[in-house]
Amino acid sequence: MKIFIYAMIGFLFGLGITISGMIDPNKVLNFFDLAGDWDPSLLFVMGGGLLVNLVGLRVVTKTRATPLVEGQFPPAPNQKIEPRLVLGSVLFGVGWGIAGFCPGAALPALGALNVYPLYFVLALVAGMGLTRLVLRGMRSAV
């Protein structure tokens, strides 16, 4: 039952990525291309998503002490900006600009049954795994 609920919420996410056009790397790359044929659509995707969630989270948190099905609302977010966050964000933006896919768009894009999103997701997982290994190595070296 629970897994069905999570699948439905993921389905809604995937519908949003597809309908918004973010599933298409060309639209993403043209959004980043201010000096070319700029396509501002992505601004409306992020703006629409943020606006709905900004209101939604407030309504939920004001009206409920605990979540509807399971778990707890997490404490207020950590506000610390450390070098690791900045470096990671730079690399994420660079990779996004190189490939035209971000993780949230590439996962639904797998459902289009084309090999390009698959290449991206496999490479993404390789990059994640490599970084986890290096971070673990650094932690155990300290």
Q: Is 136 in the site for another protein (CB under 8 A)?
A: no
Tell me which DSSP letter residue 23 carries: T
Min dist CB 75 to another protein, Å, is: 10
Distance CA 39, CA 43 (A): 9
Q: Is 62 in the site for another protein (CB under 8 A)?
A: no
Please pick, from the candidates 3, 138, 141, 142, the single residue that binds another protein as defined by CB under 8 A: 3
Structure tokens at 44: 């409306």
Sign of CA dihedral 7, 57, 20, 121: negative
Min dist CB 44 to another protein, Å, is: 4
CA distances for 117 relative to 27, 51, 69, 121, 124, angstroms: 15, 28, 33, 6, 10
Q: Which is nearer to another protein, 72 or 140 (CB)?
A: 72
Min dist CB 78 to another protein, Å, is: 6
Q: Is 67 in the site for another protein (CB under 8 A)?
A: yes
Q: Which is nearer to another protein, 33 or 139 (CB)?
A: 33
Nearest residue to 46 (alpha-carbon basis) of 20, 23, 77, 26: 20
**Binders of another protein among 69-98, rule CB under 8 A?**
69-74, 76-81, 84-98
